[in-house]
Structures are given as structure tokens and as C-alpha cells.
Amino acid sequence: MRDKTDQIIKAAIHVFIKKGFLQSTTQEIAKEANVAEVTLYRKFSTKQNLFETVIKKSLENHFKTKIFKLAEEETGRFFEEILDERLVVISKNHQLIKMLISESLLGNLTGDLNFPSMIYDGLKAGIQLHFDKQNIAADPGIFAHQITGILLSNVLFVKETPYYQLTKEEKRKVLDHYTNSLKANL
């Protein structure tokens, strides 16, 4: 049964990216997943429920867990790691992220699923934990805003070569630039 759920989620991601939330239908998603529409409704009671599951699964898997594990790291390393991990995920999932931002701006997502806010809130909580552990007296909100801006700019202003395809040296240069900018505000 887990296979059907995964099939539906993968199909939903594909259809939502292609058409957005409002223009997508459960019939299209079921067809893409190669399941009956009734099966889709058994797993997810509404299109909204499916959409929220897709978003939460995509974001929580990538954005929420690692930042808390990094809280003990030296501040420069902490910033480098969260930026690197998120830039890789964003550049690999560019179309999904762009669709989430669009749906957020159109007001089609509930408050707890607002993509830019989810990024910001997760970053702020992780940065607060890091600052507490490192005894840094700085406003984590300022740093969360800066990092959110960096991440969103990498979605909106797509580079010729996506971040995840850069060489180690190219990534290092990008990370050094961003990290030095952040550390200058401490």
C-alpha cells in the first residue's frame, strides 16, 4: 500500500509543478499515478490534503532536520552547511520550489504552508538554537531574513549552471561569499 501512496505523491508533484494547485485535478493526478481516483481519495481525502502532504513531505525531509544537528558547529561552518544543503535542494527542485512560492503568493496555501514563511521560521529557530549554544548575542531574525533572501533569489534568478552542478571550487566560492556576508553582521 505504501507504493500507491508514493506513486500518488510523485504524480501529484509532477502535476502540481506543471499546472499549479488550482488548475490541477484529482483525476489528472490519479491518471498520472496510474491509480483509480477513488484510491487517491482513500489515501488523501481532498486535493488540498494531498497538496499539503506533498509540501510537508518535500520540505520537512530537506529543510527542518539538519539545521538542528548543526547547532553545535562553529558559526562559519554552521552557515556554510545550511546554505550548501539548502542551495543543493533548491537547485535540484527548482520547479517545485517556484510553484510553492507562486502558490504562496497567490494565497492558495494555508498559513502554516506559506513557503517563504516556512523557510524563514525554520531558519530562525535553528539560528536561535545555534546562537544560544555559541553564546552569540545577535538577532536570529536578521540572519534568517538574509539567508531566506539568498535562497529565494536562487529560485527567482536562475543561474546558467544550477548550484548542485557546480564544481567543489565554484561552490566554495559561492559559500565563502555568502558566509562572509553573514559573519560580517555578527
Q: What is the mean pLDDT of residues 139-151?
A: 96
Residue 1 has pLDDT above 70, yes or no: no
Q: Residue 37: its pLDDT value, please?
A: 92
Closest listed residue to residue 19, CA positions, set 93, 102, 113 = 102
For 44-88, the pLDDT digits (tens) are 988 888 888 877 776 665 566 678 888 899 999 999 999 999 999
CB of 76 within 8 A of CB of 183?
yes
* Same domain membership, residue 125 and residue 74: yes
Looking at residue 73, what DSSP letter applies?
S
Q: Which ranges constitute the DSSP H helices of 60-112?
A: 65-69, 75-92, 94-105
* Same domain membership, residue 143 and residue 101: yes
Q: What is the mean pLDDT of the chain?
A: 88
Q: Residue 108: its pLDDT value, please?
A: 74
* Same domain membership, residue 84 and residue 2: no
d(CA 75, CA 114): 28
Domain that holds residue 104: 55-183
pTM: 0.76
Residue 36 has pLDDT above 80, yes or no: yes
* Same domain membership, residue 177 and residue 140: yes
Please state, for a pLDDT cut of 70, what percent of the chain lies above it.
92
* Same domain membership, residue 32 and residue 121: no
**Long-range pairs, 12-21, Cβ under 8 A, ≥24:** 12/50, 12/51, 12/54, 13/54, 13/58, 13/96, 16/51, 16/54, 16/96, 16/99, 17/95, 17/96, 17/99, 20/99, 20/102, 20/103, 20/108, 21/47, 21/51, 21/103, 21/108, 21/109
Domain count, the chain: 2
For 120-130, the pLDDT digits (tens) are 888 999 999 99
- CATH of residue 26's domain is 1.10.10.60
